[in-house]
Amino acid sequence: MRLHHSSLYCILCGSAVMIASSSASAAFVDDSKAALDARNFYMNRDFRQNGAAQSKAEEWAQGFMLRFESGYTEGPIGFGIDAIGLLGIKLDSSPDRIGTGILKSDREAPKRAQDEYGEAGLTAKLRLANSTLKLGTLQPVLPAVMRNDSRLLPQTFRGAWLNSNEIEGLSLDLGRIDQVNQRDSSDNQDMAVFNGGKRNIVLGNAKTSDEFLFAGGRYQWTPELATSYYYGGLDGIYQQHLVNLVHQLPLGEGQSFKSDIRYARSTDDGGSNVDNDAFGALFTYRLGGQGFTAGYQYLSGDTGFAYIAGADNALVNLVQINDFGNQDERSWQLRYDFDFASVGVPGLTFMTRYLSGDNVDRGAGQNEGKTWERNTDIAYVVQSGPLKNLGLRLRNATTRSNFGSDLDENRFIVSYSLPLW
């Protein structure tokens, strides 16, 4: 669906006003909130491998996200509604520089980016005690299904999601998704499994699916310890079980040690050869404003890690370009973070990390696959004054591989959030 600039505000605000005026509940209106988020996104990918199809992908765009969240009507079962409007506007692109993922391709000229694209989504919600049921547009961030928000506009899903917090410390989730709207699209579509790199996933007749089921929960045993289990299944393609343990160990003033351990078992669901065990662990030592992280990831089985194409996943080595989730891949990372608030500059942060992977199954008669990636991220958010909430972020990445693309990448993002009420 193509939206003109004025359409975005009219659709959501019109819906919100209609709903609010028709409800007699003060809480529905008083607890509602709305915000306009603006995101200016420049991205440049320089392809360095021999025989690359194009020398670079380079685009620049402006995005707007209008979000409305109502309160709930009074009574045993409260009713509410959320709405989201997304609009992306092309600022610079050309046929020889497309492919960054921040703009939608034009249907009539696939090698050109569309001048603008957008979508509007509504979510009905019901609340009973400490449980909430949402129907419509969803943006889950759960181990089994994680929406991707790494480009101009976020990925969204369509379905039903029940979250329950009736027991203190325990959060339970149950849901069904039937469609996905990718981050560079304005159309709902069936879901597929990611099969890039050396996943080596072989599909039967079911290339896509219109049903993804998820269920699970997270329990906070103590303020320092939490565990979770989640199931996710893309009908006819794969089933997955994910377990996670997070422990935070205080070590004294300004010091802590965090352990994040994850395991996932993926199998086929009658329409593929998916077979994978993925183990990952991250350990972070914090000293004042500094963070020192070491991570390790180990995959085994007949395929690489399976997840919904276009989404994020729960692998510990999912970073800016790669996730090191190919068949039999072993990978490690070292990371350093610094929060300048510790030296009197709140809002300024720095991160750098290096990852290396090997032992990838490239096929019969091929040497092992190897990849490395280096990331640097510098961000600043204005803390006060007329430009409060204005964010600036520079993300740089370099990756080299003997089976994938060799890339040098830069992203520059300017963001601003304006509360409307």
pLDDT, tens digit (0-9, with 9 covering 90-100), for 37-70: 999 999 999 999 988 889 999 999 999 999 999 9
Closest CA to 148 of 308, 20, 261, 283: 308
Per-residue pLDDT of the chain (421 residues; tens, 9 = 90+): 444 444 444 444 444 444 444 444 668 888 899 999 999 999 999 999 988 889 999 999 999 999 999 999 999 999 999 999 999 999 999 999 999 999 998 877 778 999 999 999 999 999 999 999 999 999 999 999 999 999 999 999 999 999 999 999 999 999 999 999 999 999 999 999 999 999 999 999 889 999 999 999 999 999 999 999 999 999 999 999 999 999 999 998 999 999 999 999 999 999 999 999 999 999 999 999 999 999 999 999 999 999 999 999 999 999 999 999 999 999 999 999 999 999 999 999 999 999 999 999 999 999 999 999 999 999 999 999 999 999 999 999 999 999 999 999 999 999 999 999 8
Closest CA to 358 of 418, 310, 302, 317: 317
**For residues 183 and 149, what is the distance between their CA atoms, to the nearest angstrom?**
7
- Check residue 93 and give its pLDDT: 95
- Check residue 111 and give its pLDDT: 82
Q: Distance from CA of residue 363 to its chain's centroid?
A: 30
- Give, in order, the Cα–Cα distances in Å from 321 to each of 49, 329, 359, 374, 396: 15, 16, 19, 10, 10
Find all residues with CB under 8 Å of 141, minimum gap 6, and list them. 147
- Give, in order, the Cα–Cα distances in Å from 21 to each of 32, 123, 420: 13, 18, 18
**For residues 292 and 116, what is the distance between their CA atoms, to the nearest angstrom?**
42
- Give, in order, the Cα–Cα distances in Å from 25 to each of 79, 132, 134, 247: 10, 18, 19, 42
Q: Whole-number mean pLDDT of the chain?
A: 93
- Check residue 2 and give its pLDDT: 43
What residues pair up with 36 in beta bridges, in sequence order? 66, 418
- Check residue 18 and give its pLDDT: 45
- Check residue 25 and give its pLDDT: 63
Cβ(413)–Cβ(39) under 8 Å? Answer: yes
Closest CA to 197 of 283, 355, 295, 326: 326
